[in-house]
A and B are shown apart, each in its own frame.
Chain A
Amino acid sequence: MSEHHLGEELLAMAEGGGALSEARRHELHQHLGSCSACQAAVAETQRVLAMVEKLPSLEPSPAFARALSTRLDQLDAEAEDTFWARLKAALTLPRLAGAMALAAAVVLGVLLLKPTPEPNESLEVLEFAEHLELYQDLELLEDLDVLEDLEAIEALEAGEPG
């Protein structure tokens, strides 16, 4: 059989040997010159290849592209439906209430945990000391002494011992 001679190089030789190295092509050409079985195999292969090239191929029917387009439209519609269905499912009343409660809890938590500035007590004391004389000069403060005297007078009037 010829394939014992050419093996997988039969196809390359049937195509003219262009895919082979020059040395190998030369070697196989010499073999072909003296081997009628390989000559026949190359000729048969060339005939098969020529027939394959003329093989008719299936042309798509006129409805082919339209049918595909319809399927793609359906896919798009399904994808859109799925999106709205998910959104709708996510917005049911219990879930919505739960989400609002969670949001409220988060806001409350943030407010409670927010660090409040510590009043600077030492500054307040210093400020008070600075204005201490002023406070002592106020008539109101002086009147407070009068109020204490009034309490003593009221006690005397009630007959209590002083």
Chain B
Amino acid sequence: MEADDDAALMATFVATRDRRVYTVLFDRHHRSILRHVQRYVREPGQAEELTQDVFVRVYRTKQYEPKTKFKTWLFRVATNVCLNELRRPERREKFDVIEEGREPKGDGPSPEGNVAGKELALRLEQALAKLPPNQRAAFLLARQDQLSHEEIAQTLDTTVSAVKSLIHRALEALRRDLSEVQMEAGS
């Protein structure tokens, strides 16, 4: 895997501590990192706080070798921050629970007045929340961030075959959960 322009920018930042260079990287990536963090931590305030932690780590980086894509490196930093947070016992219960009856946010998959669509969107969020963090992350990194299996393997510190397996199991679980919703709706 080759380094990219952002990796070169990061190397420049580490060498010069030029905050303007850092800001360019932040502007380019903070949304995708926030989305990634949200896969582990669903509470918006907590997700923002952890995303800040990720960028603080980036800011404090003293040594950086641009061997891989910057995005892959950054996702890996974010994954480590999230997993460290989830390992804290007092946090574990708080984060992975999605509230029953919570409405999907924004202009999601549910058109106004489409009760079945709303129900499906809600169940999708719940089904995603039920997945183990690495399954959820592998699946969504592939689907939403279009990372390759190799990049996901680097991000999650695992093998490509393990990534394929994580994605497959995530998809099976989602399909199973959502087909149950349809069956319930049909009965």
Contacts and interface: CB of A to CB of B under 8 A. Distances in A.
A77 to B, nearest CB: 13
Interface residues of A, number: 30
Nearest to A56: B106
Contact of B59 (A45, A67, A75): A75
A65 B29 CA distance: 12
A97 to B, nearest CB: 35
Given A49-B143, A55-B124, A56-B104, A75 B60 contact: yes
Interface stretch (B90-98, B150-158, B173-181): B173-181
Contacts of B125: 55
Interface string A32-56: 0000000001001101111111111
B30 interface: yes
B52 to A, nearest CB: 5
Contacts of B26: 65, 68
Interface in B85-122: 104-109, 120-121
A56 B59 contact: no
A60 B34 contact: yes
Interface in B70-87: none
B175 A64 contact: no
Given A8-B168, A60-B30, A71 B56 contact: yes
Given A67-B48, A72-B59, 10 more contacts: A11-B168, A44-B175, A48-B174, A50-B109, A52-B143, A52-B174, A55-B144, A60-B30, A64-B48, A65-B26
Interface of B: 19, 26, 30-31, 34-35, 38, 44, 47-48, 51-52, 55-56, 59-60, 104-109, 120-121, 124-125, 128, 139-140, 143-144, 164-165, 167-168, 171-172, 174-175, 178-179
